[in-house]
Amino acid sequence: MTSDLKGAPELALEWHTAGRGAVLATVVQTWGSAPRRIGAQMVVSGDGQIEGSVSGGCVEGAVMVEALEALEEGKARLLEFGVSDGDAFAVGLACGGTIKVLVEPIGKVLDEAVLGQLVQARSERRPVAYVCDISNGGGTLVTEGYEDRFRMDRSGLEEDGSFVAIHNPPLRVVIVGAVHIAQAFVPMARIAGFDPILVDPRSAFGSEARFPGEEILEDWPDEAMERIGLDTRTALVLLTHDPKLDDPALHIALASGTFYIGALGSKRTHASRVARLTDAGFSADQIARIHGPVGLDIGASNPAEIAVSILSQMLQVLRKGA
């Protein structure tokens, strides 16, 4: 799953550390029209408080009872629920489904140190996977392997029966150039699940009036890139086609792990960009990471259509690879 701070792991650690007791419940398998995706979590405190959801509301009460019993017993439990048609309709589904939920008491099954490392990784925006045997619970963290699962945000069971819970940082997109395309692109990106960050040292462009409620950095792009910290869950979109703004950002991005780099401009503009980057010492493989001209070729003819083409290309690279 893609985890939100403050999420179930953070609350579980907080409640356990405070002496209240805590249990993590995780959807590990689904059939049919299950209310929540695999990897969805809820946390139950020893005094009966719950946060999160594993079914959208129809089995949480039963999971809480089982979780409190598991906490008392000190053992994991693997629960199976058939979500009835009536319950499924109540949570917005057309028909029923079946889910399996793994219940892990903190400190007794899920090691407190492992949970602490998971919370730390999430706070530092480091992708990690929690891998465990669903028969007994209590797993370990890994950062390598499961490349497809990380890219697709897809938790699930492996062929060997182990369960892999993906904990990816939230997606971000850094947009250099608060231009007309950005005004269309920012709300689209937010709807698609990205947290947008606008960068433009020109205050007349990057204003609250033009981008109400959005994060705007009036820094030079290279300074902004250093502040933001580009990582594998961050995309970079350059919309100025001005070398004074684009090139400093590219110098930082090409040395980072950002999953997508797109740059506005014609083929001639991009050829000039490639020549400048080559002169600056970047390799052909590094420069090839740049999608320029930016966006899928859908015949876009206005800012909104260009924004659609850019977002589509970003998602294509994220989900299917470059």
Q: What would the mean pLDDT of 174-202 be, rounded to a whole number?
A: 96
In a domain, 52, yes or no: yes
Q: At 83, phi and psi to the nearest 5?
A: -85, 115
* pLDDT for the residue 38: 94
Residue bearing the bigger pLDDT, 234 or 207: 234
* pLDDT for the residue 29: 93
Residue 231 DSSP symbol? -
Which H/E stretch holds residue 198? strand 194-199
Out of 148, 167, 186, a domain closes at 167
* Cβ within 8 Å of residue 80, ≥6 positions away: 98, 99, 100, 101
pLDDT surpasses 70 at 62: yes
Residue bearing the bigger pLDDT, 32 or 290: 290
Out of 133, 167, 201, a domain closes at 167
* pLDDT bracket for residue 91 (50, 70, 90): low
Share of the chain above pLDDT 90, in %: 81
* pLDDT for the residue 58: 79
Average pLDDT over the chain reads 91
- Is 192 in the same domain as 154? no
Share of the chain above pLDDT 70, in %: 93
* pLDDT for the residue 31: 83
In a domain, 299, yes or no: yes
Out of 167, 192, 219, a domain closes at 167
pLDDT surpasses 80 at 89: no
In a domain, 312, yes or no: yes
* pLDDT for the residue 110: 97
Domains: count for the chain: 2
Long-range CB pairs of 114-118, under 8 A, 24+ apart, other chains included? 114/139, 114/140, 114/141, 115/9, 115/12, 115/13, 115/16, 116/13, 117/141, 118/9, 118/167
Residues pairing with 83 in the sheet: 97
- Is 111 in the same domain as 46? yes
Domain span holding position 155? 8-167
Choose the weakest-confidence range: 37-41, 83-87, 214-218: 83-87
Q: At 126, phi and psi to the nearest 5?
A: -105, 120
Global confidence as pTM: 0.81
In a domain, 228, yes or no: yes
Query: Contact, 254 vs 289, CB < 8 A?
Result: yes
In a domain, 3, yes or no: no
* pLDDT for the residue 107: 96
* pLDDT for the residue 3: 37
* pLDDT for the residue 1: 34
Q: What would the mean pLDDT of 106-124 be, rounded to a whole number?
A: 96
